[in-house]
Amino acid sequence: MTLPVTHPTGEYDVVVGFDILRSLRERLSDVESVAIITDENVAPLYGPVLKKQWPNGVLITVPAGEAYKTLDTVRTIYDQMFAAGLDRKAVVISVGGGVINDMSGFVAASYMRGIRFVTCPTTLLSMVDASVGGKTGVDMPQGKNLIGAFKQPELVLADLSTLKTLPARELSCGMAEIIKHGVINAPELLTDVKIYDWHEIIYGEDSNRRPLLELVTNAIQVKRDVVQEDPFEDGRRALLNLGHTFGHAIEQVSEFGVPHGEGVGMGLVCAAHLSAALGYCPPDMQQLLESTLRHVRLPLRIPAGMDGEELVEAMQTDKKKMDGKLRFILIRQLGEAFIDGDVPLGKVMETLRAVTADE
């Protein structure tokens, strides 16, 4: 399945399929010199299939996890690229989850003022979200994704077979972004998510491939349509941040013990609660989202003991804050989200209290 994506300076394909990682070089026939950037979990699994295609390629392995999505890690990547003598003709190939995608894209945007970039997402989350749209970057102690660049890939290759090795918790994380895509632009995705037991489909013995291919393709299409319309997030693209002001704060305050997708899931529950508290949608929106999130085995509550004040403080450093007011993406109905730049702090605190687990 191939989805073309257009952006202000060109076009690229998102290719989705099974067992396609080994066909990467055929699709990049002009590419000789590569830096394959991956993390310590993914390197032993999928490093060999890439090294086989580019025996002289430089394989750069960094520690796994959000805590390493930093300028320090980026610096170690530059060092290894210089040590290998890579010049402006080199191509960065990202192989991994969203963390690796975001960092590799940033490296490609900045190494010698920018070199070519190809991304092979190996988490569901990165397939349906991070790898499409050209946002790249790293976290700072002051907040998530605060340093970055727009860097469009020239190819996205999503090999669904790689999901078989993905930890079940990470699979659920990807589902959180799919549910989010559904809420903002494609209510039918929520129905699709609920039809199957995805853990069974992906990890089971004789899995039926069709539903997974369709779900992932449909989810990518939602992201594609939104970023094509608003490539630099001047407007509508901000809706993709539904659940993220809460989610990023939860991730940060947990010191990344709560992974991104789980934070987004909890953030969706918060967004539904807050939207209802402000009278924008009926209270059953929260129940509907909770039942969908529960179906994909996501936790619904902010972990007990997380301090509301601390969460609000973390939200203040979020980029989505504008003019000193807290900006939230809220829900009117399924398929209709909007930006509210003037949410009273009291209502936010109330939502945090309601959505935090009891001790």
Ligand X SMILES: NC(=O)c1ccc[n+]([C@@H]2O[C@H](COP(=O)([O-])OP(=O)(O)OC[C@H]3O[C@@H](n4cnc5c(N)ncnc54)[C@H](O)[C@@H]3O)[C@@H](O)[C@H]2O)c1
The string of DSSP letters for 43-81 reads: HHHHHHHHHHH-TTPEEEEE--SGGG-SHHHHHHHHHHH
- SS3 assignment for 106-172: HHHHHHHHCCEEEEEECCHHHHHHHCCCCEEEEEECCEEEEEEEECCCCEEEEEHHHHHHCCHHHHH
| CB atoms near residue 96 (< 10 Å) | 30
Place of tokens 């209802």: 276
Residue number with CB closer to ligand X (86 or 212):
212
Residue number with CB closer to ligand X (202 or 326):
202
Under DSSP, the state recorded for 67 is: G
Residue number with CB closer to ligand X (144 or 327):
144
Residues 271, 336: Cα–Cα separation, whole Å:
13
Q: Which of residues 293-332 bind ligand X (CB under 6 A)?
A: none
Residue of 57, 97, 153, 247 interacting with ligand X (CB under 6 A): 97
Does 143 participate in binding ligand X (rule CB under 6 A)? no
Residue number with CB closer to ligand X (15 or 173):
173
Does 159 participate in binding ligand X (rule CB under 6 A)? no
What one-letter code names the amino acid at 77?
I
Residue number with CB closer to ligand X (123 or 275):
123
Does 96 participate in binding ligand X (rule CB under 6 A)? yes
Does 207 participate in binding ligand X (rule CB under 6 A)? no
Task: Report which of 144, 135, 328 is spatially closest to residue 232, judged by C-alpha positions.
Answer: 135
Does 152 participate in binding ligand X (rule CB under 6 A)? no
Stretch that binds ligand X, among 38-46, 195-203, 205-213, 338-346 (CB under 6 A): 38-46
Does 98 participate in binding ligand X (rule CB under 6 A)? yes
Task: Give the binding site for ligand X (CB under 6 A).
Answer: 39, 41-42, 45, 64-66, 69, 96-100, 102, 122-123, 125-126, 129-130, 133, 135, 145, 162, 165-166, 170, 173, 260-261
